[in-house]
A and B are shown apart, each in its own frame.
Chain A
């Protein structure tokens, strides 16, 4: 049906709004519908993926309502009975299929809520026909331990074919002193305005831009604090086990921190450096087992696709054992992340970055030349080691190259703002292609190793073991073929990365 106009007006307080509504009697007969009270919560992923995709998802009672950013309805269905849920758990097919691509593997959690009273006034003509509708909303909103009253809102809704009634009602409300029509503010914006929050979403994307003339000490502090903030913002989601991405992003921040410490080791005090390297290594090790299992569990559908139906039962049983292992590893990880050791690490790291720079050997040096040297060193190492790899090289050689590539990648990210964005992004893109190949190779290697180990631990003689063994055997066969295929692509991929053109570009940019 045709898109009808809506005019949103705001008042200072309830008294002003009610007086304005009374003015509508000058043009219409009014029929008031009794007020309805609603409690509703807004759901989204941690990083606001639904909002970014143009959706607002609300839960009211035991129902979900999906709208666009103009609050126009799209789909709805029964709610999932949990505080955090995934799009694939939604039972209503239309709603589920809209949300799945938007939310991906991220959990949907409550980001804010509101309690509103909603009064409807029908504006009628002399025939008793409703020619416009006015909806008056007032109430309160809550998010992040804040609560505030919502600014009272009056919305006029046009009825098709009664354009002049809509205009007349708008004029009467404006004449009565209401502000508007307000544009581009949806119900979520209304909540943010009341709570005085810029956004309800967080991002773990690394976007820090350093000043070109920044000193090394300041640069390391800013990068370190940015990464620490990423760890902290994901910490609660990891503890609650809301979805796999919280741990993934947490570990990326830890890896980047370790890379920072390693790259800048010459310029940091030895004793503290050793301490933090050890502690962040510990953090990587206590979070590794759960992440490894998450990766396998996320592969479940893909694995099922690799096997004939006869082996699916064994695969299912295999995944039951993985789930069970994950539960145990999760408990251990939770304990570590709630420990005094972890709390102490973050506190001391923050203090070190913010307050202790006087003792650093290279704190007062300009960062850019040092960064450039480090990037060049990394690139040369990759070139040397990559060119040595041939068909006879072992898996370890590619693994080492991948680690070196990662270190270069992090350096390019940390110091991106020192260079022309298009040029460094191009180079970053070239590196990404190489890293994708090496990453795929490594992922399959790790999966094969895990499967072989698991097969080795299966108790002998039971039917269950036979089934699981059959499934694992099928997976190993399939993955081995894939492994060889990815390996065969390496030489061509590396040649593209190491091309004369790329080397020239690198020289121009960094040397």
Chain B
């Protein structure tokens, strides 16, 4: 079972769209997939129309007692562990003294026989929980809008890796919400895409992705051969290859 975190400390970069659409692509390509919504805002859960069970909370997540809280989406081979509002205080639950860097990996380990890949839709912050996520994941996929500030947040992520002694080759970035009409976007993509950290696939800004909030489905489930769906399929293929997910 591989754990794949979709993370960025900056909000609004397309993390949830990435998590939802990559998880969907993984399941369409034959992998038993679980998406864990760790963001207390619960956007992934909203897209899949899934609410948490009444007795689910952060404590249960960290204890690894999660099997009965996982819910099936409307799509075969794709399940979701919905978010819970108590996740906003997750850092308080992590005891600094007892902190195991891989607390999340341990919590997910009972699922190893059930799923091929687990996606983590992560909250947009830089906290103790972020460290746990990055340390627990086999691969961190980070969307980067091609702007100066977004590149800065990528720098911060790499700095965090150095601090917690995580190999930076675990980080795989891609340009998200890119607009060809914006010269800054074009310049930054041109300058940085040659670096190994960046995947070749670029996700352009697309109205289809914004409309996910209305359709409440992955883009591939709305129309399998749409521009957006094909873009995420290409991204998935690269993620799969880089992460050796088969």
Contacts and interface: CB of A to CB of B under 8 A. Distances in A.
Interface of A: 1-2, 4, 122, 127-130, 159-162
A129 B115 contact: no
Interface string B67-79: 1111110100101
Interface in B202-229: 216
Contacts of B72: 4, 159-162
B53 A161 contact: yes
Interface residues of B, number: 18
Contacts of B74: 122, 129-130
30 contacts: A1-B32, A1-B77, A1-B79, A1-B114, A2-B67, A2-B114, A4-B72, A122-B74, A127-B49, A127-B51, A128-B49, A128-B216, A129-B48, A129-B49, A130-B74, A159-B71, A159-B72, A160-B70, A160-B71, A160-B72, A160-B79, A161-B50, A161-B53, A161-B68, A161-B69, A161-B70, A161-B71, A161-B72, A161-B79, A162-B72
Contacts of B216: 128
Nearest to A160: B72
A122 B71 CA distance: 16
Contacts of A159: 71-72
Contacts of A160: 70-72, 79
Contacts of A130: 74
Q: Which of B51, B74, B79, B114 has the most CB of A within 10 A?
A: B74
Interface string B98-142: 000000000000000011000000000000000000000000000
A334 B115 CA distance: 55
A129 B50 CA distance: 7
Nearest to A162: B71
**Which 8 pairs across A and B sit closest by C-beta, in order of nearness?**
A161-B71, A160-B72, A129-B49, A159-B72, A127-B49, A130-B74, A1-B114, A1-B32
A75 to B, nearest CB: 12
Contacts of B50: 129, 161
Interface string B36-59: 000000000000111101000000
A127 to B, nearest CB: 5
A159 to B, nearest CB: 4
A103 to B, nearest CB: 25
Nearest to B52: A161
Residue from A2, A128, A129, A161 whose CB has the most chain B CB atoms within 10 Å: A161
Contacts of A4: 72
A1 B50 CA distance: 18
A352 to B, nearest CB: 62
Of the candidates A4, A127, A128, the one having the most CB atoms from chain B within 10 angstroms of its own CB is A127
Contacts of B48: 129
B213 to A, nearest CB: 14
Contacts of A127: 49, 51
Nearest to A158: B72
B216 to A, nearest CB: 7
Contacts of B70: 160-161
A162 B49 CA distance: 13
A3 to B, nearest CB: 10
A162 B53 CA distance: 9
B75 to A, nearest CB: 9
A378 to B, nearest CB: 57
A4 B48 CA distance: 20
Contacts of B71: 159-162
Interface in B73-102: 74, 77, 79
A1 B49 CA distance: 20
Contacts of A122: 74
Nearest to A3: B114
Nearest to B76: A1
A160 B49 CA distance: 14
Nearest to A163: B68
